């Protein structure tokens, strides 16, 4: 077997990467141990360890074209079809671990619980810990996903609305506060994801460390969020093409973009990682280029004026609409950062999470600082909040309303606005690609835990959650509702209400991550373990998780306030009671939806909050085995580092 020292990956009999971390044992709650996280009893993806590759090839149909076709068809078959079925619900045929039981054993299990239905948390934990998803993401993939994986129209276009409603100072303050909140949240997620690189990530953590019913609500609302985002991003991409030729039929590009996104995700997690790597390089280059250009424009001035400096902070001013304007921008900033948590969701498909995840998590600091704070500070210097084009967006990808494009156009450039529009198109496709990844993995994990139909847990022999990917992709067909120019306005409210269903799910997800981290640390200490035993610790610690949780609660309050008492109308008219009610539900409909999901599951299965002393902190925990040796070697090496390198390793 070939060993890659850079990634600590061993190649399996199919020539695919297989990390040393995967070969280490996984400890389960009841003491059972799985020798390989890539497989579980009945797994057929790799066959016997160290099996002969030629034997596998011949079994798949021999060589030549026929053999390749047979292997291609065979790759879509269920990975664990020959093994025992796992179910997180105890029923008449399962003992909770997927093992078939006798009638006597089953009767005892039901009698112990008075014959009532209940949720088997222990089995759900074991199921997500032994996921069959392929582990093929490398460090460079995770770093790019963390840095710019979800940078899209939220930064390039929606920041224009934030600037017009709050002013440049409100934009800086709000994005800085939300950036601190997100940094604390991602640090907490990173610690849990390195120790427990399990399928479902944060939704599974909510099930395990908080309440199974809350995990059910969080998982479904997070999946719904991305499923609704997919058709919206596809429509946005088709509309962006209209910048160059408005006469083109949108349906053509809806078809092209949908097929492109589906094909990328059907190539497997490696294809997704490579696509995001390319998209991220384009977006990073664009943002860095804008920062350099913005500095030149600010110092050198525009063709109609000289040095700009900070004159727009004085006239028309730094703040707009007072404290309510700041709260409005605060809410927009929270949604602009949505998607950063995908790096934690990708942990279950990472070849070597111990090496890759900590570095990727630390990159979030640079994403917040460079791509949001610095770029938006320049936007506030170059574009006044009274600029009429900021509110002239016809759609989410209308580059004419982007403050970035407006700033470039003010310098008299003719080609660069088209370039920026192209970057927005790439960003739209990137977010659409991420939406399929995020929703499909969440649905597959929900099915693994028994929170969704079992069919969605189908994983083929290439480690792809095939049914979940196809189910999410089907939502992309809704994009055709907005493809017809005549019907786009009629179906606009439909998408508004679809977004409203899960509009707050990101904030709830972030808050759940912080609270799960606090609960994990409590259980860890309760078992007499030291945080130093963890392979990666959140730099902000438990205090950072409390700060992140408090900030998420503040965002929810701010969202509710501006929904009930919105900003004054531009035309001076008063809001009617009906308009206020509609505005409230458009912004806060996710709140009652989440409560219905949570209470419905809780009443059906009669679940309860997981007590600290009963919390499972063993199942799925990655026993790196040689962690003690690695830690000692790193400490010895760190002693010889210069100060600059020590500082660099802290932030990178």
**Residue 640 is encoded by which pair of tokens?**
């010889």
Judge if 633 and 489 occupy the same domain.
no
Question: CB–CB of 40/1 below 8 Å?
Answer: no
Q: What is the CATH number of the domain that holds 246?
A: 1.20.1740.10
**Alpha carbon distance 262, 124 (integer Å):** 29
Residues 615 and 627 in one domain: no
Residue 634's contacts (CB-CB under 8 Å, 6 or more residues apart) are none
pTM of the model: 0.81
512 or 619, which is more confident?
Answer: 512
* pLDDT confidence bin for 263, thresholds 50/70/90: very high
Q: Mind listing the pLDDT tens digit for each residue in 577-603?
A: 888 888 888 888 888 889 999 999 998
The C-alpha atoms of residue 559 and residue 566 are separated, in whole angstroms, by 10
pLDDT above 70: residue 80: no
What is the overall mean pLDDT for the chain?
A: 76
Count of domains in the chain?
2
pLDDT at 369: 76
**Per-residue pLDDT, 217:** 92
Extract the runs of DSSP E, i.e. beta strands, from 239-294. Answer: none
Percentage of residues in the chain with pLDDT exceeding 70?
75
Q: What is the pLDDT of residue 94?
A: 36
Q: Both 574 and 646 in a single domain?
A: no
578 and 594 together in one domain: yes
Q: Do 278 and 353 have their domain in common?
A: yes
- Min mean pLDDT across 282-296, 490-504, 511-525, 556-570 is at 490-504
pLDDT value for 37: 40
Residue range(s) defining the domain that contains residue 464: 139-621
C-alpha to C-alpha distance for 22 and 7, rounded to whole angstroms? 12
Q: Give 393's pLDDT tier (boundaries 50, 70, 90).
A: low
Identify the weakest region by mean pLDDT among 188-192, 279-283, 478-482: 478-482
pLDDT band with cut points at 50, 70 and 90 for residue 457: confident
Q: Could you read off the pLDDT of 321-335 as tens digits, one per residue?
A: 888 888 888 878 887
**Left (φ > 0), alpha (ψ -120 to 50) or beta: where does 8 sit?**
left
Q: Looking at the structure, tell me whether residues 232 and 375 fall in a common domain.
A: yes
Q: Is 13 part of a structural domain of the chain?
A: no
Give the pLDDT of residue 27. 42
Of the pLDDT bands very low, low, confident and very high (cuts 50, 70, 90), residue 497 is confident
Average pLDDT estimate for 502-528? 89
Q: How far apart are CA 61 and CA 605, in angstroms?
A: 47
Cβ–Cβ under 8 Å, residues 622 and 196: yes
Give the total residue count for the chain.
652
**Are 302 and 290 in a shared domain?**
yes
Query: Residues 6 or more apart from 226 whose CB is under 8 A from it?
Result: 434, 435, 436, 438, 439, 442, 472
Going 250 to 255 to 260 to 261, the CA torsion angle's sign is: positive
| pLDDT score at 491 | 59
Residues 397 and 541 in one domain: yes
């Amino acid at each position: 077997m070939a060993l890659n020292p850079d990634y600590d990956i061993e190649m399996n009999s199919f020539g695919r990467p297989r990390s040393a971390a995967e070969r280490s044992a996984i400890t389960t709650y009841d003491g059972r141990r799985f020798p390989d996280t890539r497989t579980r009893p009945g797994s057929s993806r790799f066959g016997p360890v160290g099996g002969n590759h030629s034997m596998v090839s011949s079994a798949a149909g021999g060589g030549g074209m026929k053999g390749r076709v047979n292997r291609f068809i065979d790759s879509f078959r269920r990975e664990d079809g020959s093994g025992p079925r796992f179910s997180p619900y105890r029923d008449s045929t399962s003992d909770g671990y997927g093992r078939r039981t006798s009638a006597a054993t089953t009767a005892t299990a039901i009698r112990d619980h008075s014959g009532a239905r209940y949720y088997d948390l222990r089995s759900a934990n074991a199921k997500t810990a032994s996921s069959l998803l392929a582990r093929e993401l490398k460090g460079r993939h995770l770093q790019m996903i963390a840095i710019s994986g979800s940078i899209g129209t939220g930064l390039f276009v929606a920041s224009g609305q934030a600037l017009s409603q709050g002013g440049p100072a409100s934009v800086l303050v709000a994005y800085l506060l939300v950036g601190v909140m997100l940094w604390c949240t991602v640090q907490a997620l990173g610690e849990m994801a390195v120790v427990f690189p399990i399928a479902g990530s944060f939704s599974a953590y909510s099930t395990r460390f908080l309440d199974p019913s809350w995990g059910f609500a969080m998982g479904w609302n997070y999946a719904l969020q991305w499923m609704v985002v997919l058709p919206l991003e596809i429509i946005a991409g088709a509309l962006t093409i209209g910048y160059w030729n408005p006469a083109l039929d949108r349906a053509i590009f809806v078809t092209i973009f949908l097929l492109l996104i589906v094909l990328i995700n059907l190539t497997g997690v490696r294809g997704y990682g490579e696509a995001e790597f390319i998209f991220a390089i384009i977006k990073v280059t664009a943002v860095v280029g804008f920062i350099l250009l913005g500095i030149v424009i600010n110092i050198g001035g525009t063709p109609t004026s000289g040095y700009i400096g900070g004159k727009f902070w004085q006239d028309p001013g730094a703040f707009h609409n007072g404290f309510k304007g700041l709260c409005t921008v605060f809410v927009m900033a929270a949604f602009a950062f949505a998607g950063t948590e995908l790096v934690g969701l990708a942990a279950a498909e990472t070849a070597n999470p111990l090496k890759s995840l900590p570095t990727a998590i630390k990159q979030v600091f640079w994403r917040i600082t460079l791509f949001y704070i610095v770029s938006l500070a320049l936007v506030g210097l170059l574009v006044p909040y009274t600029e009429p084009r900021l509110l002239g967006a016809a759609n989410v990808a209308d580059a004419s309303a982007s403050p970035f494009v407006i700033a470039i156009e003010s310098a008299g450039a003719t080609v660069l606005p088209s370039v920026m529009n192209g970057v927005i198109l790439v960003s739209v496709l990137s977010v659409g690609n991420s939406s399929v990844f995020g929703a499909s993995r969440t649905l597959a994990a929900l099915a693994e835990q028994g929170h969704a139909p079992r069919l969605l847990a189908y994983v083929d022999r290439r480690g792809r959650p095939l049914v979940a990917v196809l189910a999410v992709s089907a939502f992309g067909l809704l994009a055709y509702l907005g493809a017809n120019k005549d019907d786009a306005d009629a179906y606009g409210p439909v998408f508004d209400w679809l977004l409203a269903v899960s509009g707050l799910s990101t904030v709830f997800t972030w808050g759940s991550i912080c609270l799960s981290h606090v609960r994990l640390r409590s259980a860890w200490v309760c078992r007499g373990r030291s945080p130093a035993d963890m392979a990666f610790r959140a730099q902000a610690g438990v205090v950072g998780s409390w700060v992140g949780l408090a900030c998420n609660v503040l965002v929810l309050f701010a969202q509710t306030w501006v929904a009930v008492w919105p900003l004054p109308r531009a035309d001076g008219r008063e809001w009617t009671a009906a308009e206020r009610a509609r505005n409230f539900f458009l912004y806060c409909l996710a709140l009652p939806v989440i409560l219905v999901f949570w209470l419905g599951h809780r009443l059906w299965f009669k679940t309860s909050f997981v007590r600290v002393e009963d919390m499972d902190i063993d199942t799925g925990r990655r026993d790196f085995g040689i962690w003690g040796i690695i830690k000692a070697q790193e400490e010895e090496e760190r002693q010889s580092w210069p100060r600059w390198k020590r500082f660099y390793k802290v932030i990178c």
